Structure 1
Amino acid sequence: MTYKSLTAASLVALIMGAGGAMADTWRYAFEEAMEEVQGKFAQKFKEEIEANSDHEVQLFPFGTLGESADIMEQAQSGILQFVDQSPGFTGALIPEAQVFFVPYLLPADQDELVEFFRSSKTIKELFPPLYADQGLELLTMFPEGEVMMTTTNEVTSPADLNEVKFRVMTNPLLVEGYKAFGATPTPLPWGEVYGALQTGIIQGQENPAFFIESTKMYEVTDYITRAGHNNFTTAVMANKEFFDGLPDEDKQLVQDAIAASFDYIVDYQDGLTETSLEKIKEAKPSITITNLTEEQRQPFRDTADDVEQQFLEIGGSQAQAILDQMKADLDAVSGGAADAEGEADADAEAKAEN
């Protein structure tokens, strides 16, 4: 894959063309293509803003303004009003955000996962001040799908990753996680991944199924492994100075649009993983898709405690508080789901007796 870098001339054109002369034009960049999950979220956000105000939202998908590091710098400087970026890239900027890369921490159950992102005190209370310190207003986080490994060789155990050069985002904890899995983690910008797999510089990478399908990563790998170790998380942020300067009605407008977009993207993802895997299999019948058994997953799961300790060492001054609250949030969601199931069973029994 290739991308067009943002030149000095085009940057000036962007500022002059979409800036001061059009004060109510808001610019929003994200890390994926328009028809991928972040793009769908952004389009819904744009639709909500423009339907309920006189503001215009300009969308900039991956590559139009550079790589992930570029759009984050532009968001912090105020060139962009909104940015969608994974903690995989902001982890170096906000170390505590690396908690999302502790393997097997997030639930595999989709309902529990969504409820966590809706109600988490970690996301709603603990993270916003950390993002604010970097000039960012955290608006929401949402899951994008089960993370899967795509490799040139079969993977059913950590031993199969030995000496495998595995592309990871530029995130210190993700590096440690794949070291624990037995691989040789290799941080690379996304624009270099396809070519690196094609030429054998690396032998693996991870992403949700929809992204593997849309970016055709299956063309340069032969195996997709579902180890159940994580779900891809992303965060939508605003430039804080911009957001703080909005009138109250516009702040509410943004928050309402974010809420509507969250609901939309959750519904949009229903069945997306399986549909994407079917498309991959149709495009490349020879590919092997393996859903590891619980027994096969256990050696990967056994690395989680060590990676968690690494997080506490490199995850910033609030690492312990973040991890503790996140576990409490996850316990509350798991308990809530169990309570709801119990209540449903009790209701069913009562109806049967009547």
Structure 2
Amino acid sequence: MTIRTAIVAGTVATMTLGLSAAHADTWRYAFEEALEEVQGKFAQKFKAEVEANSDHTIQLFPYGTLGESADIMEQAQAGILQFVDQSPGFTGSLIPEAQVFFVPYLLPGDTEQLNSFFRNSVALNEMFPELYAAQGLELLTMFPEGEVAMTTKKPVHSPEDLDEVKFRVMTNPLLVESYKAFGATPTPLPWGEVYGALQTNIIQGQENPTSFIESTKLYEVTDVIIYAGHNNFTTALMANKDFYDALPEADQQVIENATDAAFEYILAYQKDLESVALEAIKKAKPEMEVIVLTEEERAPFKAAAGTVEETFIEMTGDSGKKILEQMKADLAAAAE
């Protein structure tokens, strides 16, 4: 057993004992980012709302305190955690249909359209909850975290520029296919290994929202930031389903209200977040090259997206096809 494994195991054992003693009056919530990043801000708002409107308390566990993303998902499914925030980038191996968020150029770049989609989507609010429930999870909400940017060590204007570039992706089969289609060599890595792998040139690229690139200082170990307009990072708040279903209706309502409040808060919080983060990166590293691909330069990347969409349907069958069709209908409604 490694030291990290022993620490996590000890923490989990302590939490399990606490759960029995507290009868779930203290609810545990883990997420994939730091406390002051987007998921952390959402979690803090959720905690404040729950504690202001009930006798319960929320204990927050930022990234790394309980292991990697796979660890916190296992703990949520086991009931050790009551809440978990995880991107479909990791949940996709558990719920294949969730990989739809990695079909390039599916989500709009316009913020108002995007927010309308997340508020009103039939696919997100009616179809996905059933898929999550089958895995012992109550899907409370999904929300966007910002336009995804690539950072690399050399300029990228076309898929040819990504040839032989080892590009870090989350452990998600469809994201692997996306970067194959984009011309790169996709390299799945846990988040904790990314900075060091870029620093030692094991990989030469990665993708994340600009605010995350700034807060984690990934710009220190890359030289170019590229905006191809290909995606917006999505994440999801879930509860352990057995825990949630056993709650009194009043507590379920508290959770629902806290989720709604945190959702609206985080959309407003992100309004200028990415542009402010980019300015901070340029100030910290003036030599950082910023490339915004033209429509002409984006065309071959968009053409590759068709292949990824076909792969998604092959991976997920009729269920995935229905999800994708409904999402397209929801997105068209948001555009109106």
Q: Same fold (TM over 0.5)?
A: yes
Task: Please tell me whether the aligned partners of residues 120 and 329 of structure 1 are also in contact (alpha carbons under 8 angstroms).
Answer: yes
What corresponds to 1:170 in structure 2? 171
| Alignment partners' CA distance in 2, 1:251 and 1:195 | 42
After superposition, give the CA deviation of every residue in 1:283-306 in whole Å (9 maximum; x if it has no partner).
111100111111111111111111
3-state SS, counterpart of residue 268 of structure 2: helix
Task: Please tell me whether the aligned partners of residues 31 and 61 of structure 2 are also in contact (alpha carbons under 8 angstroms).
Answer: yes
Look up the equivalent residue of 1:84 and give its one-letter code: D
Normalised by the length of structure 1, the TM-score is 0.92
| 1:180 aligned onto 2:174 | no
What corresponds to 1:299 in structure 2? 300
What corresponds to 1:201 in structure 2? 202
Map residues 54-93 of structure 1 onto 2, 5 A cutoff.
54-93=55-94
Normalised by the length of structure 2, the TM-score is 0.97
What corresponds to 1:128 in structure 2? 129
Gaps of 5+ in 1: 336-354
Map residues 1-354 of structure 1 onto 2, 5 A cutoff.
5=5, 6-16=7-17, 18-23=18-23, 24-335=25-336
| Alignment partners' CA distance in 1, 2:281 and 2:315 | 37
| Alignment partners' CA distance in 2, 1:225 and 1:7 | 37
3-state SS, counterpart of residue 143 of structure 1: strand
Query: What is the percentage of aligned positions where both structures have the same residue?
Result: 67
Task: Please tell me whether the aligned partners of residues 105 and 305 of structure 2 are also in contact (alpha carbons under 8 angstroms).
Answer: yes
| Alignment partners' CA distance in 2, 1:316 and 1:236 | 25
Aligned pairs, how many? 332
Look up the equivalent residue of 1:21 and give its one-letter code: A
Look up the equivalent residue of 2:114 and give its one-letter code: L
| Alignment partners' CA distance in 1, 2:306 and 2:84 | 32
CA-CA distance at 1:10 after TM superposition: 2.2
Gaps of 5+ in 2: none
After superposition, give the CA deviation of every residue in 1:155-196 in whole Å (9 maximum; x if it has no partner).
111100000000000000000000000000000000000000
3-state SS, counterpart of residue 225 of structure 2: strand
3-state SS, counterpart of residue 35 of structure 1: coil
CA-CA distance at 1:316 after TM superposition: 4.9
After superposition, give the CA deviation of every residue in 1:279-332 in whole Å (9 maximum; x if it has no partner).
001111110011111111111111111110000011255111101100000011
Look up the equivalent residue of 1:15 and give its one-letter code: T
| Alignment partners' CA distance in 1, 2:204 and 2:113 | 33
3-state SS, counterpart of residue 80 of structure 1: coil
**Structure 1 residues 29 and 207: CA distance shift in structure 2, 3 A:** same
CA-CA distance at 1:154 after TM superposition: 0.8
| Alignment partners' CA distance in 1, 2:195 and 2:60 | 25
After superposition, give the CA deviation of every residue in 1:94-149 in whole Å (9 maximum; x if it has no partner).
00000000000001000000000000000111101100010000000000000000
Give the RMSD, CA atoms, in angstroms. Answer: 1.0
| Alignment partners' CA distance in 2, 1:63 and 1:33 | 9
CA-CA distance at 1:20 after TM superposition: 1.5
Task: Please tell me whether the aligned partners of residues 69 and 89 of structure 1 are also in contact (alpha carbons under 8 angstroms).
Answer: yes
CA-CA distance at 1:4 after TM superposition: 5.1
Task: Please tell me whether the aligned partners of residues 11 and 66 of structure 2 are also in contact (alpha carbons under 8 angstroms).
Answer: no
What corresponds to 1:351 in structure 2? none
| Alignment partners' CA distance in 1, 2:315 and 2:33 | 28
| Alignment partners' CA distance in 2, 1:264 and 1:10 | 31
Look up the equivalent residue of 1:22 and give its one-letter code: A
